[in-house]
Structure 1
């Protein structure tokens, strides 16, 4: 594998350098960098042209300028832009903003898209499958700028106004309850009676839940509380155990339930620590959670069930910690909303200027600014992952070894998780790696719609000003990410498909 990585790295470096030459030549000819200086009054024109010419070395041939940039870039110096500002500083700010913008959207799109794709494949040609297909094609066809504008108007502005009197109308309650019931009824695998039971129970449960939340005005001061946290943790333990090993195996279920119990105890024990923590504290708590849950799965699983008990316990522990995190953040919603004039969902920018608050209030501020662009990117990207996953799953489900697994008496869960899903994810790996590599370059349209100054904006500014330095800084990050993540995809193939050997 080391030989393969070294060979791929050697080839990738030459591809990266060859592409950098092409990008540099194109960026120097995209626009005249002296166009604005030539429009100045005659008294200042010559001086401005001379300064820009010297700063950008416009008198030198293009290849000389390229090798000057390359020699500086190797040392980490990406030069200065047309105004004489340090490109490294601009890149650091832009890259940080891009990571905030695309990380959550990418993770959500991958998780939700693959999950819906798997369910759609398992329920092929059902009403759920046809509905998902229709919604996926609609989302895939929508222009991003139009989606962003609609979200700003009908989600952010209307939601902020609604929070002043958070009462849910009976029509809305009925619509959401009906959609929930149809989804649950479509997901359940069984006879018609089982699907009808799931539809009726989930519809009634959602209607009752929304009615209670509306009557208590929960949305104006939301929090989960210890009872909801405990029930959610136990439900997560059962769900993750079912996914990993099935409930017929007791040790994994016991490990997951103990991990949930430890999380519930930590909910009360860590109350002073979580009052206003630092980010480092949250990271350390996450690492401690993983370590404790790993130990629980290791000892309770034994030699026979350890392989399933460890992931069940770790997933339950991390999930319980995430629920506690959400509960603490929601508890600070009322104070944060009051500090931003009851407009918690923002439509412009990455943060509230000069805002100072607790850790949880600052987190809500970041979430309020990320909500709309993240949702817009998820809606557009979701369709791709859903359709690719569904097609890949259906192709694998028709293979001979899947039918053989069922004929040997393996449970449907084992067939789906161990054989179908693992092999079905192989082509999805390429899609994920390519998407992550490309979106690191920023989402230009999204940034423009929501007023973010990130990687896409830096590229756009460089093109508009005819300045190759910001464009090349953009290329270094985005091109490097594409090369890196494509190599990661190749390596991941060997772990997903034992038939592939990288030696």
Structure 2
């Protein structure tokens, strides 16, 4: 394994050097780097041109100029990176961290949700292949996958941000809108539940009635302007998460699993009532420490109660504790919504430009909401496009795995269907997904250019676009360096993930 890693690192470095040479020369000959100065009426135009030629080494041919640049990159080994300066004499090493932070905030949330929901929905559609639910998800997936990213972004700005902000000025749901929402959601839920016509009709009716009732209650209580979960819904959601974790990972007949889930749900409910004072003065570090503590408590409860199957019980405990802690944090964020909306953004909380409100000085909860509202729409735009591909890949992968001999053998042994899917089929289905994830990391970081442009976010895409438009090679190469290293590293991690998911491909 050590020799394999060493070979991969050596090959990756050689690929990176060769690719940077090609990229540098293409970027250098893409335009005239002196065009803006040559067309200027400034009296010191000649001096400005001479200064740019000297600082950017424009009197050196591009291949040799690349040699100067790669020499600066080589200094990163001793901690003295020199990626050059922009035309405005800003060091690229100072611009990259700021751009990377904005892009990572944008990409990480959408990427993680796309993986979770895409794989989960793909598995469900595979288990219910060729049903109405499967056809519906397939139609939506192909529709989303075919939409250009700029069109998705523009539609979200027009019909989500602007319309919802206008709605918050006077929250009132028209009867027609109420009926349409209830009917659409009822149709979706009955497709998910399935069954005979009678069962579908009952599910449709109950869902529609409950949806309409909830919307009317939210309007009557002014929930849209001052939202919160409250003790009742925190308890219900926590119990629901515990039920979901136990059912999904251990089934409904494992008493130890029920005990572990119940312990962690009870601890979460107690913490909700006892930690409110601490949450009011919390920072990001405090929340991180509390999250780690929740996971540790979940692992400990699973270990001491787990008996002969401690590993499974520890996973149930950790996931239940982490998710229920998330419900408590979500409730605290929601209770800050009214203050943020009225006092910081003038009653129009859903932002359409930028990654944050300039000059905002507030506590952790307000700044967190500000980041969320600014990144909501661009994240949804990236999420919907990535989500579609993961749904299709996971569906086809699961259908293929379910036809394998070892799955039929597991079923012939009498194992529960949940065990067959989770412990046998899912692990092998994830092998091609690992490749797709590694590829998408670089694609998302590089492909956010259009989304960042539409939403005016100063991230990696804006850095690349601004540099390329004026043939400023150094920021373009800084962008390339980050994307290339990210792609190489995650493809290497994907190779290692293969050996974890499938012992047959382990390197000896």
TM-score (ref. length: structure 1): 0.97
CA contact (8 A) 1:251 1:301 kept: yes
Structure 2 partner of 1:326: 330
Of residues 78, 82, 86 in structure 2, which corresponds to 1:81?
86
Instruction: For residue 191 of structure 1, report the CA deviation from its aligned partner.
Output: 5.3
Match of 1:274 in 2: 279
Matched, 1:28 2:28: yes
Q: Whole-Å Cα distance in 1 between the matches of residues 9 and 174 of structure 2?
A: 59
Q: Which sits farther off after the overlay, 182-191 or 231-240? A: 182-191
Aligned twin of 1:243? 248
Query: Take 1:4 and 1:411, find their aligned partners in 2: how far apart are those partners?
Result: 39
> Which residue in 2 is equivalent to 1:152?
157
Q: Does the aligned pair in 2 maintain the 1:441–1:477 contact within 8 Å?
A: no
State yes or no: 1:451 paired with 2:460.
no
Q: 2:14 — aligned with what?
A: 14
Give the superposition deviation at 1:194. 4.6
SS in 2 for 1:226: helix
Report how far residue 502 of structure 1 moved: 2.1
Helix, strand or coil: the match of 1:220?
Answer: coil
Give distance in 2, aligned partners of 1:351 and 1:89: 20
| Counterpart secondary structure, 2:277 | coil
Question: Are the equivalent residues in 2 in contact too, given 1:458–1:474 (CA < 8 A)?
Answer: yes
Q: Which shows bigger deviation, 247-256 or 162-171? A: 162-171
Unaligned runs of 5+ in 1: none
Alignment of 1:22-171 (within 5 A): 22-41=22-41, 43-75=43-75, 76-171=81-176
Asked if 1:382 corresponds to 2:384, the answer is: no
Indicate the larger mover: 66-75 or 16-25: 66-75
Equivalent runs, 1:346-385 vs 2, <5 Å: 346-385=351-390
Between the aligned partners of 2:48 and 2:6, the Cα distance in structure 1 is: 48
Structure 1 residue 301 displacement after superposition: 0.7
State whether residues 442 and 454 of structure 1, in contact with CA within 8 Å, keep that contact through their aligned partners in structure 2.
no
Counterpart selection for 2:400 from 368, 373, 395: 395
Contact 1:251 1:305 in 2 (8 A): no
Could you tell me how far 1:439 is from its partner in structure 2? 1.9
Match of 2:339 in 1: 335
Segment drifting more, 4-13 vs 127-136? 4-13
Q: Cα deviations across residues 225-282 of structure 1 (Å, max 9, x unaligned)? A: 1111111111100101111110111111210111111111111111111003111111
- Residues in 2 aligned to 1:492 and 1:117: alpha-carbon distance in whole angstroms: 20
How many angstroms does 1:42 deviate by? 7.5
Aligned mates of 2:498, 2:206 — CA distance in 1: 42
Q: Equivalent residue for 2:78?
A: none
1:231 & 1:109 partners in 2: Cα distance? 26
Deviation at 1:490, TM superposition (A): 0.6
Aligned-partner Cα distance in 2 for 1:23–1:221: 51
Are residue 345 (structure 1) and residue 345 (structure 2) matched?
A: no
Q: Runs of 5+ in structure 2 lacking a partner?
A: 76-80
How much does 1:193 deviate? 5.0
Change in 2 beyond 3 A, CA 1:193/1:397: farther
Change (3 A) 1:212 1:371: same
Mark the CA change 1:404 to 1:189 in structure 2 (over 3 Å): closer, same or farther: farther
CA distance in 2, matches of 1:197, 1:295: 42
Tell which deviates more after alignment, 476-485 or 263-272.
Answer: 263-272
Query: Aligned in 2, Cα 1:315/1:251: closer, same or farther, shift over 3 Å?
Result: same
Instruction: Select 1:188's aligned residue among 193, 200, 204.
Output: 193
Rounded to whole Å, the distance in 2 between the matches of 1:239 and 1:16 is 45
Q: Secondary structure at the match of 2:129?
A: coil
Instruction: Report Cα offsets for 1:183-231 as digits up to 9, x if no partner.
Output: 3333336555554444443333323222211222211110001111111
For 1:142-162, what per-residue CA distance to the aligned partner results, in whole angstroms no more than 9, with x for missing partners?
Answer: 111111111111110110111
Alpha-carbon RMSD: 1.5
What residue in structure 1 maps to residue 431 of structure 2? 426
TM-score when scaled to structure 2? 0.96
